[in-house]
Amino acid sequence: MPADVMLDSKLPTGPIETRWDERRFSLKLVNPTNKRKYKVIIVGSGLAGGAAAASLGELGYNVECFAYQDSPRRAHSIAAQGGINAAKNYRNDGDSIFRLFYDTVKGGDFRARESNVYRLAQVSVEIIDQCVAQGVPFAREYGGLLDTRSFGGAQVSRTFYARGQTGQQLLLGAYQALERQIRAGTVKMFSRTEMLDLVLVDGRARGIVVRDLITGEIRTHMADAVVLGTGGYGNVFYLSTNAMGSNATAIWRAHKRGALFANPCFTQIHPTCIPVSGSHQSKLTLMSESLRNDGRVWVPKKIGDNRPPDQIPEDDRDYFLERKYPSFGNLVPRDVASRNAKEVCDQGRGVGPGGRGVYLDFADSIARLGEDVIRQRYGNLFDMYENITDDNPYKMPMRIYPAVHYTMGGLWVDYNLMSTIPGMFVIGEANFSDHGANRLGASALMQGLADGYFVLPSTIGDFLANAGPDPMTPDVPEARATEAEVRDNVKKLLSIRGDRTVDSLHRELGQTMWDYCGMARNDAGLRKALDRIPELRQEFWSSINVPGEEGGLNQSLERAGRVADFMELAELMCIDALHRTESCGGHFREESQTPEGEAQRDDENFSYVAAWQYSGNCSEPVLHKEPLTFEYVHPTQRSYK
């Protein structure tokens, strides 16, 4: 059993408006001339990791940054379409830092920390300034000032955007800042290099073991602090909107070394994705939820109505969101829209091959506004849909279905973004901190950049200043031992030579997770998954075939290592989902719903962060609870009727 941990969230007190300021003032500073004596490792180069590496480099720290892709510009932050929220109130429509804070706490269904969310809303304003100065080409009004739009059901217009490529443009801003530091020599970039384990010395994070994906070399890098900005773990479901390489290995390895994993079952399902077309499917494609502004969602009223959509008369259609939620209609939040699509498909009224799809129909909008207006608004999305499905959405309704999109859970961090392992910080989607049980649209980019540009660069200095510079080589026994374990694991994966491919087992794991730990969960289903996952793990370790060798580029080996970790993480997600018998946000327990079928929270018993500790056996994690208190936003039942 690992040593017991005490959860100290280091939350500030006092009026919420001044908490971040006061914290920053109380943090110790590193003398500017001493900064270069501290080495900081950053794993991941997306919005969080890239922004952090650039900012720490600018401050003068000695930074090493790692990415499994061939360039920091590939990180999956690049695929975010919609935009980034900021409380600028440029529209004079009543927005404020407090309102963004309020909306985020409420949208997260009261499972996030108030202090963290308030800081996020404060920092949002500086992010826009920074990105504009970097040359991010945000959309502009004719007068030359920044344009904003209303997004994801927000009642104010606070979302800044660059067409449907906001994530790309923000990432390129961070990437360019990072390349500038690489040139300046403050950051050393290691592309095509994957972190495979964390090195602890005297209980403190002191380095990482990596595999050079080109040569296959396994080696250790040491540092004064380690930062993980490695993204989410949605690929545990096999099919998701994540990139093919997105994985949980870094955070899972850190978890097994002692970092607590918080709210692992909180996953977000995005309602508007292109449905699965066959067993060959390798990933799911998301289409911006702005489509729901002009599209109407429906399915046939009758089970087994196989007529083409244009031959189904109005009377035989069920516009189920408009029927059930007259005031929000097709614009209900993501979790509500997703669950309702599942419900009608479970009833046998789904459309398209396999019956897992609902129509998103633009016929009324085209009749009202004309095809040109619709083309202007959504042309690129319509083209993308047609390219993938070979259907023309101007003539036929789109078919959509929900898909796994984002994971709110992640490694537990305190207010300073440090995990339960001293010296290891976690930023962006990889941590659990700001979105509670449900993330609002256009808030992921905001959080990644807030952590990377502004929060971490302030808080990490305090840790380093207290620790003092302490260079260490990889020759210490702790590093040698961890490296040996990594080598053994790689050898083991290569030695099985069975008759199953890694992908086929990953697909089975994903299907199990989707069926029992997806959009709706119940006691019996989760128990079934918990029986099945250890069997799959057993099968994985006895029957996979990983061709090739340890040396050189071996993509099968890379995948095998990542799937091995998903096989363990999946079990923790189900254990967490089983223990949380309430519904909240993206976590819908069928046993806990209102008479109208909405998520029913249980604040009396579950108003806490569930932080799980690895016990040495992944079937028996130890639960620690961080109670949540709400002084400013009082928990209410969400209602979108």
Partner 1 sequence: MNLTLKVWRQKDANDPGRMVTYEARDISPDMSFLEMLDVVNEELTLKGEDPIAFDSDCREGICGMCGCVINGQAHGPNHGATVCQLHMRKFKDGDTIAIEPWRARAFPVIKDLVVNRSALDQIVQAGGYISVSTGSAPEANSTPVPKEVADTALDAAACIGCGACVAACPNASAMLFMSAKVMHLGVLPQGQPERYDRVSEMVQAHDALGFGSCTNIGECSAVCPAEIPMDVIAFMNRDLVKSRAGKQMKRA
386 binds partner 1 (CB under 8 A): no
459 binds partner 1 (CB under 8 A): no
User: Which has the closest alpha carbon to 297: 152, 151, 401?
Assistant: 401
Shortest Cβ distance from residue 454 to partner 1 (Å)? 7
Whether 209 contacts 521, CB under 8 Å: no
- Helix, strand, coil % (nearest 5) of the chain? 45, 15, 40
79 binds partner 1 (CB under 8 A): yes
User: Which has the closest alpha carbon to 49: 75, 88, 17?
Assistant: 75
**Residues binding partner 1: what is the number (CB under 8 A)?**
82
Q: Which CB sits closer to partner 1, 116 or 240?
A: 240
If you ran DSSP here, which 8-state letter would residue 455 be given?
I
Among 10, 29, 547, 605, binds partner 1 (CB under 8 A): 547
5 binds partner 1 (CB under 8 A): no
CA 22 to chain CA centroid, Å, is 29
Shortest Cβ distance from residue 548 to partner 1 (Å)? 5
139 binds partner 1 (CB under 8 A): yes
Whether 607 contacts 627, CB under 8 Å: yes
How far is Cα 543 from Cα 523, in angstroms, rounded to an integer?
A: 30
Among 84, 177, 262, 321, binds partner 1 (CB under 8 A): 177
Shortest Cβ distance from residue 411 to partner 1 (Å)? 23
Any idea of the CA torsion for 316, 320, 323, 326, to the nearest 10 degrees? -140
User: Which has the closest alpha carbon to 259: 412, 486, 408?
Assistant: 412
188 binds partner 1 (CB under 8 A): no
511 binds partner 1 (CB under 8 A): no
Which residues within the stretch 398-437 sit at the binding site for partner 1 (CB under 8 A)? none
Interaction pattern, residues 284-323, with partner 1; x per rule: CB under 8 A: -xx-------------------------------------
Cβ-based burial of 32 (10 A; exposed 0-12, middle 13-18, buried ≥19): exposed
Among 2, 14, 15, 135, binds partner 1 (CB under 8 A): 135
- Collapsing DSSP to helix, strand or coil, 159 comes out as strand
235 binds partner 1 (CB under 8 A): no
Q: Which stretch binds partner 1 (CB under 8 A): 310-318, 391-399, 414-422, 540-548?
A: 540-548
Q: Which stretch binds partner 1 (CB under 8 A): 36-44, 63-71, 110-118, 620-628?
A: 63-71
Four-residue CA torsion sign, 545, 546, 548, 551: negative
Shortest Cβ distance from residue 556 to partner 1 (Å)? 6
Whether 389 contacts 225, CB under 8 Å: no
In Å, the largest CA–CA distance within the chain is: 75
Which residues within the stretch 31-50 sit at the binding site for partner 1 (CB under 8 A)? none
603 binds partner 1 (CB under 8 A): no
User: Which has the closest alpha carbon to 378: 462, 293, 458?
Assistant: 293
Q: Give the relative orientation of helices 502-517 and 555-579 as an angle to the nearest 10 degrees.
A: 20
482 binds partner 1 (CB under 8 A): no
Shortest Cβ distance from residue 398 to partner 1 (Å)? 16
Whether 256 contacts 531, CB under 8 Å: no
Shortest Cβ distance from residue 499 to partner 1 (Å)? 7
Q: Which stretch binds partner 1 (CB under 8 A): 177-185, 232-240, 288-296, 481-489?
A: 177-185
Write out the E strands in 261-357.
261-262, 267-273, 296-300, 317-318
245 binds partner 1 (CB under 8 A): yes
Among 16, 117, 170, 172, binds partner 1 (CB under 8 A): 172
Among 94, 278, 313, 477, binds partner 1 (CB under 8 A): 278
The answer for 525, left when phi > 0, alpha when psi is -120 to 50, beta otherwise, is: alpha
Q: Which stretch binds partner 1 (CB under 8 A): 13-21, 122-130, 419-427, 466-474?
A: 122-130
Structure tokens at 397: 């309704």
Q: Which stretch binds partner 1 (CB under 8 A): 69-77, 195-203, 289-297, 316-324?
A: 69-77
Shortest Cβ distance from residue 620 to partner 1 (Å)? 34
566 binds partner 1 (CB under 8 A): no
* Residue 334 is a catalytic residue: yes
Shortest Cβ distance from residue 474 to partner 1 (Å)? 25
392 binds partner 1 (CB under 8 A): no
If you ran DSSP here, which 8-state letter would residue 589 be given?
B
Which residues within the stretch 487-506 sit at the binding site for partner 1 (CB under 8 A)? 497, 499, 501, 503-504
Any idea of the CA torsion for 198, 203, 206, 207, to the nearest 10 degrees? -10
71 binds partner 1 (CB under 8 A): yes
How far is Cα 220 from Cα 222, in angstroms, rounded to an integer?
A: 7
Catalytic residue chosen out of the listed positions 19, 119, 211, 334: 334
Which residues within the stretch 144-163 sit at the binding site for partner 1 (CB under 8 A)? 144-146, 162-163
Q: One-letter amino acid identity for 328? A: F
Among 35, 88, 221, 638, binds partner 1 (CB under 8 A): 88
* Beta pairing partners, 187: 63
How far is Cα 394 from Cα 374, in angstroms, rounded to an integer?
A: 9
Which residues within the stretch 212-231 sit at the binding site for partner 1 (CB under 8 A)? 214
If you ran DSSP here, which 8-state letter would residue 83 be given?
-
Active site residues: 334
